[in-house]
């Protein structure tokens, strides 16, 4: 895998050398449009195959022009319908800068204030009372800079602070849930409608929304994850709790009941407890929406193991392993079916291990399931129109856009120098080899089954949008950012342009 990446890096560096105009640490930004298209056309299918990504969209704009817009792969590994440029993907956390833009429009209209409590006058209050019984005060600026003190767990909406507001950077998607509630209250209509009227429709993003129409669901690419992930979610907690329960049952049988052997009935209670514990863990990890899908995948896998075990058992029988040898006294293991059944189960599991990294589809998010932090859905080409608004604002004054995109809060947590957060968007200052500094604006995203990346370089008036329908697409989108915006030398050393994971949420 790393060798393939190195070869690709060498090829692209070679293209840079031939063009003679680009610097390796500024990627493709100095390339001709045709060169960019050729490189991305060659690169994307290979990286998708390498990272096991079923489908993707890529859009690249520069100077107000759509330089590159392509679709790759399939919407669903089962139906194999191809991805087109009209296919809709979950944009995940790219939702946040879009929601921030909507909020800043309300600030410009005098309906919200950056430095005022966004919960002022809300009935009922969104936040739960603190220890002293009062409602904590959180400003809009704290929400947009991820210093609100709220959590990042948007699956289980928490109305309580986990840290004092105004402290260090701590990625908090739930702050955008609070923001959506506030905007809905001020505008007296759902947040998704406010975003559509104030931002999406004026920019021509007709098929993009925090909520979708039912007819649009036929265009949505299905999210995928590796088979190992749902299986691990089910079997790791089940086996752990079952083993602990079985050990406790053994101690009770031997020491309390003083019985010489354990029987199958003694394992019933540990099995029940393990099942309950697994359900609780799954609710914590994936929420109620994906619970059924994860359990279904595990159930199908168990059926496949059972079928494979039957086939292995048949093989043992045909080879004569389970029959007594003629002319000899039958030994116990030769006639015992349980021994060969256990061996068959082990071999069945081992024979299915190569399937662990196979992509499996996940259920689609409901059309009306809205969260300002993560529910934006659209195409890469349309989201590039939002990136163009950041570069050349039409719906905000340029002074307001400068406020949105200037660094306000350092990220910290081991992130490199020059990484900070503006109002709803990340700001990165990267030192180049010639001593210059490259500033990029970005948002990385990951929803269950989807990975995405938005990167904007205001100086070159360029932006990249990458959407994938795979949980494993995180590496792909970030490597593509390295190729387009610079970092090929680091990529060759396997130190690619990586958005620090300390600044993002693992699942949103």
Q: What is the pLDDT of residues 20-52, one digit of tens each?
A: 434 547 789 989 999 999 999 999 999 999 999
Confidence tier at 504 by pLDDT (50, 70, 90)? very low
Determine the straight-line distance between the first and last CA of the chain, rounded to whole angstroms.
Answer: 26
Average pLDDT over residues 431-459: 91
Angle 452-458-464 (CA atoms, 0-180°, nearest 5)? 25
Short-list 95, 91, 27, CA closest to 466: 91
What is the number of other CB atoms lying within 10 angstroms of the CB of residue 272?
A: 12
Give the Å distances, CA to CA, from 148 to 99, 105, 249.
Answer: 16, 20, 47
Reply yes or no on whether the pLDDT at 76 is more than 90: yes
Task: Return the pLDDT at 222.
Answer: 96
Residue 429: what are its φ and ψ, rounded to 5°? -105, 110
Q: What is the pLDDT of residues 352-401, one digit of tens each?
A: 988 888 899 999 999 999 999 999 999 999 999 999 999 999 999 999 99
CA R_g for the chain: 27
Task: Return the pLDDT at 333.
Answer: 45
Domains of the chain in start order, with CATH, are: 2-93+370-503 (3.40.710.10), 100-218 (3.40.710.10), 228-356 (no CATH)
Q: What is the pLDDT of residues 249-298, one digit of tens each?
A: 888 888 888 888 888 888 899 999 999 999 998 888 777 778 888 899 99
Confidence tier at 120 by pLDDT (50, 70, 90)? confident
Are the C-beta atoms of residues 176 and 373 closer than 8 Å to each other? yes
Task: Return the pLDDT at 3.
Answer: 47
**Both tokens of residue 215?**
């007819």
Q: β-pairing, 437-447 with 426-431?
A: antiparallel
Which residue bears the tokens 């863990």? 281
Are the C-beta atoms of residues 331 and 323 closer than 8 Å to each other? no
Question: What's this model's pTM, rounded to 2 decimal places?
Answer: 0.85
Q: Is 58 helix (H, G, I), strand (E, B) or coil?
A: strand
Q: What is the pLDDT of residues 174-209, one digit of tens each?
A: 999 999 999 999 999 999 999 999 999 999 999 999
């Amino acid at each position: 895998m790393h060798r393939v990446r190195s070869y690709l890096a060498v090829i692209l560096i070679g293209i840079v050398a031939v063009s003679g105009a680009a610097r390796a640490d500024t990627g493709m930004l100095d390339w001709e449009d045709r060169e960019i298209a050729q490189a991305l056309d060659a690169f994307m299918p290979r990286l998708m195959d390498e990272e096991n990504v079923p489908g993707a969209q890529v859009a690249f704009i520069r100077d107000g022009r759509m330089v590159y817009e392509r679709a790759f792969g399939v919407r669903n590994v089962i139906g194999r319908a191809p991805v087109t440029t009209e296919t809709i993907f979950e944009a995940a956390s790219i939702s946040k800068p879009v929601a921030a833009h909507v909020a800043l429009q309300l600030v410009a209209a005098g309906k919200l204030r950056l430095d005022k409590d966004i919960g002022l006058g809300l009935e009922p209050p969104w936040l739960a009372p603190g220890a002293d019984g009062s409602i904590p005060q959180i400003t809009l600026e704290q929400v947009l800079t991820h210093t609100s003190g709220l959590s990042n767990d948007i699956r289980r909406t928490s109305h309580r602070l986990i840290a004092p507001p105004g402290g260090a950077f701590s990625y908090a998607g739930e702050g955008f849930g609070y923001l959506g509630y506030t905007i809905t209250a001020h505008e007296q209509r759902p947040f998704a409608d406010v975003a559509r009227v104030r931002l999406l429709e004026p920019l021509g993003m007709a098929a993009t929304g925090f909520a979708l129409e039912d007819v649009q669901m036929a265009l949505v690419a299905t999210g995928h994850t590796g088979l190992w992930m749902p299986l691990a979610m089910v079997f790791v907690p089940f086996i752990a709790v079952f083993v602990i329960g079985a050990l406790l049952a053994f101690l009770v049988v031997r020491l309390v009941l003083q019985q010489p052997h354990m029987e199958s009935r003694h394992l019933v209670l540990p099995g029940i407890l393990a099942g309950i514990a697994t359900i609780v863990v799954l609710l914590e990890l994936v929420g109620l929406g994906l619970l059924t899908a994860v359990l279904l995948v595990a159930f199908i896998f168990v059926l496949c193991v059972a079928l494979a075990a039957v086939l292995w058992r048949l093989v043992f029988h045909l080879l004569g392993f389970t029959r007594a040898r003629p002319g000899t006294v039958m030994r116990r293991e030769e006639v015992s079916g349980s021994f060969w059944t256990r061996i068959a189960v082990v071999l069945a599991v081992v024979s299915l291990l190569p399937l662990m990294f196979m992509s499996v589809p996940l259920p689609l998010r409901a059309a009306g399931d809205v969260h300002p932090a993560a529910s934006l859905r659209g195409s890469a080409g349309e989201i590039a129109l939002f990136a163009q608004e950041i570069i050349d604002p039409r719906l905000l004054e340029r002074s307001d856009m400068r406020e949105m995109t200037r660094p306000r809060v350092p990220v910290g947590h081991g992130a490199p120098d020059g990484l900070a957060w503006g109002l709803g968007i990340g700001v990165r200052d990267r030192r180049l080899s010639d001593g210059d500094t490259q500033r990029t604006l970005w948002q990385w995203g990951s929803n269950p089954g989807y990975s995405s990346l938005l990167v904007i370089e205001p100086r070159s008036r360029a932006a990249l949008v990458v959407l994938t329908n795979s949980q494993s697409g995180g590496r792909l989108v970030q490597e593509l950012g390295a190729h387009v915006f610079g970092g090929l030398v680091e990529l060759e050393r396997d130190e690619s342009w990586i958005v620090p994971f300390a600044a993002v949420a693992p699942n949103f």
